Structure 1
């Protein structure tokens, strides 16, 4: 029994190592082969294939983990009483977790599962609710899809200290003065990127 528990802990550690390596490899080059992940993780290719059927499965797992983290941070922030604090807490936590770097680099490289699609709907609902709660603080013309663009501006492989620095600037920009210039981002266009070519 103890031996089985030890093997399970080792398998979980190996999986974490593989996913961390996959994140580094695929953020640097989404076209990298799966063998680069095994090499970065320091595991044999067989160990990787025992966990993931192939590169697409690994990419899907990586992005789904990021989506689950987004949901968890949004749910945690939703428990805040103050509307602006809830929105700011959510945005800072998601930027800190850097889940949007995965979106920017890996969207369209795999076919999402039905569960991923359901979780994406849940994530959008949570973000929209947080946005709606804080709406009175925003410039006129701000829309929930601005959150996606804001998060992507704080992603794309930038170092954590820079993501933290510039989320402050972007948050202040959402709150400042006059009406938002230009048209808002289109929800359909944002969703299209997840279709596999």
Structure 2
């Protein structure tokens, strides 16, 4: 086992211009999420204004709107993947099937990552990395649904393609006040979760869950 003296020194925190650049980039990405969720057609100047940086500084960091949208969408997909992988790891460790599934769904809704997919898809050119991430998302969701159903926690007539539509419905719950938006989403998330959980005597869902090609339609527009 390495002793403290054997370990490589911890990386020094960024200083000066490097630290300022990191802060500016974080501000730009947060501003872009805010601006483009509000109006996907907004110009780059609106992002610069929201972030409190100059337009020239914004373009030095991102060559154009496509690159900025690709970045924030990629960040959202990677967060989605991380939430799903955490739920799968919890199941692998013997965690309760419903708790793992519910935690994943809550994490997606509370972090608002699906809103980026719904609002921004079709507004920029996709990339191979984004398509790979989207495929990984689909695989993980399918695995979570299958395992929750095998454990008898999730109703048997729900499919993995139903979940994106559930996320889309909850994403539509949005008012001007972010705190109120979160409160309302928690309310309707509770209703959705109760409907998703396996209950004796639940009414059978009508036939016709969305197909994979229907779910890909937004992304196909952006390719």
Cα distance in structure 1, aligned partners of 2:89 and 2:80: 15
Distance 1:157 1:19, change over 3 A: farther
Specify the alignment match of 1:168 in structure 2. Answer: 190
TM-superposition CA deviations, 1:43-62 (whole Å, max 9, x none): 00011111111111111111
Higher helix share: 1
Report deviation, 1:156: 3.4
Matched, 1:143 2:167: no
Unaligned runs of 5+ in 2: 1-11, 175-180
1:152 aligns with 2:168: yes
Cα deviation per residue 1:10-31 (whole Å; 9 max; x = unaligned)? 2111111111111111111111
Structure 1 runs, 4 residues or longer, greater than 6 Å off: none
Within 5 Å, give how 1:28-107 maps onto structure 2.
28-80=38-90, 81-107=95-121
Tell me whether 2-11 or 132-141 shows the greater mean CA deviation: 2-11
TM-score by length of 2: 0.82
RMSD over aligned Cα, in angstroms? 1.8
Task: Report the Cα offset of residue 170 of structure 1.
Answer: 0.4
Taking the aligned partners of 1:115 and 1:156, their CA distance within structure 2 comes to 27
Structure 1: segments with no counterpart, 5+ residues: none
Q: 1:108-163 CA deviation, whole Å, 9 max, x = no partner?
A: 11121111111111111111111111113333421101111111111136212222
- Alignment length, in residue pairs? 196
Q: Give the secondary-structure state (helix, strand or coil) at the position aligned to 1:194.
A: helix
Report how far residue 169 of structure 1 moved.
0.6
8 A Cα contact 1:27 1:157, kept in partner: no
Q: Contact conserved, 1:139 with 1:180, CA < 8 A, in 2?
A: no
Structure 2 vs 1, CA of residues 139 and 3 (structure 1 numbering), >3 Å: closer, same or farther? closer
After TM superposition, the structure 1 stretch with the greater mean CA deviation from structure 2, 132-141 or 177-186, is 132-141
